[in-house]
Structure 1
Amino acid sequence: MIEMIAALQPLLVGAVLIWSARVKLVSRHAAAAAHRSALVRLVGQRRALPAYRLLGGVELTLGGLLLLPPVLRLEAVAATVLAAGFLAYLGYARRAAPTSSCGCLSARPTPVSGRSLARAGLLVAAGGLAVLAATGWPDALGGRPVAGGAVLIAELAAVVALSPELDRAWLLPLRRVRARLTHPLRGGSGVPLLATVQQLQLSDAYRRVAALLRSDVREHWDVGEWRFVAHAARYQGRPVTAVFAVPLADPEPEAVRVALVDDATGHTLLSLAGTAPPTSGRLAVVPV
């Protein structure tokens, strides 16, 4: 298995190098990306763009050689050295020019992050494996196409996941889909949590315990016609949970009530009632 994985690494490294070269050689934003990078600090403002283009040419040449069989051991060594150079450059950029942009796989302004460094480290490891390969990638992929394809897809997915500059292409759409499906600002009743918080903050119960609160909303849940909203708090020197009961159908702040529940024992230490008591909940809210 390891022999097959090693033989497939030139495909991974070559594809990443060609993609990176595309940004440096073809993108109309290449000049701006070069001048936002740490190359300005490293070689100067005037030499930043030529150095950026030169690096793109090296990436394109080496990436093409890695993709075209046969893959020579010298090419794999050169790819490993180049990836190690990337890793060193990103480390320098993060330390010496923390506001600079990576300019690696996209012209979009993206500061160097731990993910960028991890991606470079992954390419170094992939290049090192390619040096050890005993066969070419066509033989490895032809012999075990399903396993080989799965390895390549997993590695490419790792490269994408470790590339902050590509987040707009997959991570942001994924977050939008999750938000549409989960409705993070809504409870099970469909009433927005923000409306509930505004109602309880206008209540007399909230004003009477506001000085005790130590957090924003930590948890909320719906039971019947009531929404319970929990905050961390301190009461008489001990950690407690302030549980507000807010009626879902009654928008009046006077209907809100609160209980302070001891975190250690679960006992209700204080209860301030509104106009009507809730029927049930995950934490007891009863008069003392």
Structure 2
Amino acid sequence: MIEMIAALQPLVVGVVLIWSARVKLFSRHAAAAAGRSALVRLVGPDRALPAYRLLGGVELALGGLLLLPPVLRSEGVAATVLSAGFLAYLGYARRVAPTSSCGCLSASTAPVSGRGMARAGLLVVAGGLSVLAGGGWLAALAARPVVGVTVLVGELAAVVALSPELDRAWLLPLRQLRVRLTHPLRGGSGVPLLATVQQLQLSDAYRRVASLLRSDVREHWDDDGWRFVLHAARFQGRPVTAVFAVPLADAQPGSVRVAVVDDATGHTLLRLAGTPPAAGPHLAVVPA
């Protein structure tokens, strides 16, 4: 198994290097990306762009050699040295120019971070494994295609996940999809959570226990026409949960109720009922 993984590393490193070279050599934003990078501090503002282009040329040449047969041990050594250089550069940039942009896999602005350094470390490991490759990546894929494709997809996904400059391409759309599916500002009733919090904070029940609260809203859910809103609190020196009940159909602050529940035992230590409606649910005594 380790032999097959090692044989696939030239393909992984080669693809990443060629992708990185594409940005440095062919992007119309390459000059701006170079100007935002730590190369300005390292080689000076006038040499930053030529150094950026030169690095792209090295990446393109080495990436092409890694992808094309035959696989030579010297190519793996060169890939390892280059990846180690990336890691050292990122460490330098984080120390002397923490606000500089990485400029590695995209022209987008992305400050040097632990994720980028972890990506460089992953490439160092991949380059080191490629030195051990006993055969070409094409033969390894042909011998065990399912396992090989799984390894490749997993490694390339890790590279993307560790690349802050690529977040706009996958992480932002994923977050937008989650917002569309979960509607975080709405409970099941369609009443915005913000409206509930405003009603809650204007209530007498909230004012009477406000000094006990130790958190913002921790949890909320809707049940039988009521929205239950939980806050962490302390009461008589013990950790408790303040459980507010806010009617969804009544916008009056006076109708808000609250119970203070002991976190350790689940016992209700304090219960304050609002004014109308006079009839309402009894707050369940549940562990927080």
Using the alignment, how far apart are the partners of 1:112 and 1:106 within structure 2?
A: 13
Which residue of structure 2 aligns with residue 158 of structure 1?
158
Task: Please list the CA deviations of residues 233-283 of structure 1 after superposition, one character each: whole Å capped at 9, or x if unmatched.
Answer: 122322221111101111111101112222222222222211235314443
1:248 aligned partner = 248
The aligned residue for residue 285 of structure 2 is: 283
**Equivalent pairs, count:** 284
Task: Name the stretch that deviates more: 275-284 or 125-134.
Answer: 275-284
CA contact (8 A) 1:25 1:53 kept: yes
In the alignment, is residue 47 of structure 1 matched against residue 51 of structure 2?
A: no
Is the 2:259–2:283 Cα contact (8 Å) retained in structure 1?
A: no
Tell me if structure 2 keeps the 8 A contact 1:223–1:281: no
Q: Which amino acid aligns with 2:285?
A: L
Question: Which residue is equivalent to 1:205?
Answer: 205
Query: Which deviates more from structure 2 when the two are superposed, residues 180-189 or residues 269-278?
Result: 269-278
Aligned to 2:103: 103
Percent identity reads: 81
Whole-angstrom CA distance in 1 between matches of 2:139 and 2:282: 67
Q: Distance in 1 between matches of 2:239 and 2:137?
A: 61
The structural deviation recorded for 1:214 is 1.1
Structure 2 CA distance for partners of 1:223 and 1:85, relative to 1, 3 Å? same
State how far apart, in whole Å, the 2-side matches of 1:269 and 1:162 are.
Answer: 48
Q: What SS does the corresponding residue of 2:150 show, helix, strand or coil? A: helix
1:224 aligns with: 224
Question: Which ranges in structure 2 are unaligned for 5 or more consecutive residues?
Answer: none
- Using a 3 Å threshold, how does the CA distance of structure 1 residues 64 and 235 change in structure 2: closer, same or farther? same
In the TM superposition, 1:156-195 aligns within 5 A as 156-195=156-195
CA–CA distance in structure 2, aligned partners of residues 40 and 278 of structure 1: 67
Confirm or deny: 8 A CA contact 1:228 1:281 kept in the other structure: no
Q: CA deviation at 1:228?
A: 1.0
Determine helix, strand or coil for the equivalent of 1:217: strand
Q: Structure 1 282/55 Cα, relative in aligned 2: closer, same or farther at 3 Å?
A: farther
Q: Are the aligned partners of 2:267 and 2:285 in contact in 1 as well (CA < 8 Å)?
A: no
For structure 1, the 5+ residue unaligned runs are none
TM-score (norm 2): 0.95
Contact 1:223–1:280 (8 Å) recurs in 2: no
Residues 149 and 184 (structure 1), Cα distance of their counterparts in 2 relative to 1, 3 Å cut: same
Matched, 1:144 2:152: no
Aligned alpha-carbon RMSD (Å): 1.3
| Alignment partner of 1:257 is 2:257 | yes
d(CA) in 1 for partners of 2:68 and 2:201? 66
Alpha-carbon separation, structure 2, partners of 1:202 and 1:5: 62
- Cα shift readout 1:110-139 (whole Å, capped 9, x = no counterpart): 001111011111111111111001111121
* 1:177 aligned counterpart, secondary structure: helix
* 1:33 matched to 2:24: no
Q: Which residue of the partner structure matches residue 82 of structure 1? A: 82
CA shift, 1:14, in A, is 0.5
- How far, CA to CA, are the matches of 1:37 and 1:162 in structure 2? 18
**In structure 1, what is the Cα distance between the partners aligned to 2:46 and 2:8?**
39
Post-superposition CA distance 1:69-103 (Å, at most 9, x none): 11211111101100010011111111221111000
2-side partners of 1:76 and 1:14: how far apart? 10
Q: For residues 34-63 of structure 1, what are the alpha-carbon distances to aligned partners after superposition, in whole Å with 9 as ceiling and x for unaligned?
A: 111111111111111111111001000000
* Contact preservation (8 Å) 2:7, 2:136: yes
Q: 2:18·2:60 contact (CA, 8 Å) conserved in 1?
A: yes
Once the two structures are superposed, the pairs formed by residues 104-123 of structure 1 within 5 Å of their partners are 104-123=104-123
Of 81-90 and 266-275, deviating more is 266-275
CA distance in 2 between partners of 1:277 and 1:39 (Å): 70
Letter in 1 for 2:199: Q
Judge conservation of contact 2:99–2:111 (CA < 8 Å) in 1. yes
